[in-house]
């Protein structure tokens, strides 16, 4: 801008498209209804019996969560020189997070697409049949459907972001010495969190 003032300005745009399964084999736990919502029809379900905590919705939004399209990330940096020995520098920016792979697995772990089974045997009288107990037939009326454990994502989640800023002054001292004083700060918004329901 001048021989004393330098500005660095920038604007970044980030769109993190929701990952989706083209077969709609995904779902989430709806806290308002206390039910799992899964993106297949009852006819597509490998389990051929009623599961009270489950709602089939073949029209479920692909990717489940609503896209967040307003992720503008400005950047501002400046340096101002006072005379020959003192400089003031500062900066500000917004930085967006990305959806982690661990979070993505939550939306594909919805029953009846995935079930966890616990096998408990009798140590004194073996009572397991490997073919029957380790790999039960989901279409069987005896398929063990226990309590469904909500472990999911919220479709209304927004992309988390961080605001960062800094301000610093440098002063040249005698010889090769420099004194620097700086302040740096940040603030997080819309951070992801785990909830037990």
Whole-number pLDDT of residue 4: 93
Lowest mean pLDDT among 28-37, 58-67, 110-119, 139-148: 139-148
* Tally of domains within the chain: 1
CA pair distance 77, 9, nearest whole angstrom: 6
In a domain, 166, yes or no: yes
CA pair distance 118, 145, nearest whole angstrom: 11
**Confidence bin at 195 (pLDDT 50/70/90):** low
Query: Residue 174: is its pLDDT beyond 60?
Result: yes
Task: State which residues form the domain around 97.
Answer: 5-189
The token duo for 132 is 């029957």
The answer to whether 113 and 152 are in contact (CB under 8 A) is no
Where is pLDDT greater, at 16 or 59? 59
In a domain, 197, yes or no: no
In a domain, 12, yes or no: yes
CA pair distance 87, 180, nearest whole angstrom: 9
Query: Residue 122: is its pLDDT beyond 80?
Result: no
Q: In what order do the strands lie in the sheet with 5-13?
A: 5-13, 72-82, 86-96, 161-172, 178-189
Q: Which of 24, 195, 13 is nearest to 112 (CA)?
A: 24
| Residues forming a β-bridge with 184 | 166
In a domain, 196, yes or no: no
Which sign does the torsion angle of CA 58, 59, 65, 68 carry? positive
Backbone angles phi, psi at 73, to 5 degrees: -125, 90
CA pair distance 8, 140, nearest whole angstrom: 66
The answer to whether 139 and 44 are in contact (CB under 8 A) is no
pLDDT in tens, 52-106: 788 999 998 888 888 889 999 999 999 999 988 999 999 999 999 876 666 667 6
């Amino acid at each position: 801008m001048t021989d004393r003032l330098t500005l660095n300005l920038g604007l970044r745009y980030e769109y993190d498209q929701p990952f989706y399964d083209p077969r709609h084999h995904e779902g989430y736990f709806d806290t308002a209804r206390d039910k799992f919502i899964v993106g297949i029809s009852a006819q597509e379900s490998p389990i051929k019996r009623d599961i009270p905590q489950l709602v089939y919705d073949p029209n479920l939004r692909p990717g489940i969560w609503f896209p967040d399209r307003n992720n503008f990330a400005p950047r501002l940096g400046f340096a101002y020189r006072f005379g020959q020995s003192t400089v003031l520098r500062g900066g500000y920016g917004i930085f967006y997070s990305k959806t982690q792979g661990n979070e993505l697995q939550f939306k594909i772990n919805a029953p009846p697409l995935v079930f966890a089974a616990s096998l408990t045997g009798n140590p004194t009288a073996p009572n397991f049949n490997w073919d029957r107990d380790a790999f039960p037939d989901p279409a069987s009326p005896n398929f063990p459907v226990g309590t469904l454990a909500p472990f999911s994502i919220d479709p209304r989640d927004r992309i988390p972001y961080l605001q960062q800023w800094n301000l610093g002054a440098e002063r040249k001292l005698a010889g090769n010495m420099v004194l620097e004083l700086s302040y740096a700060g940040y603030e997080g918004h819309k951070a992801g969190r785990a909830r037990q329901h």
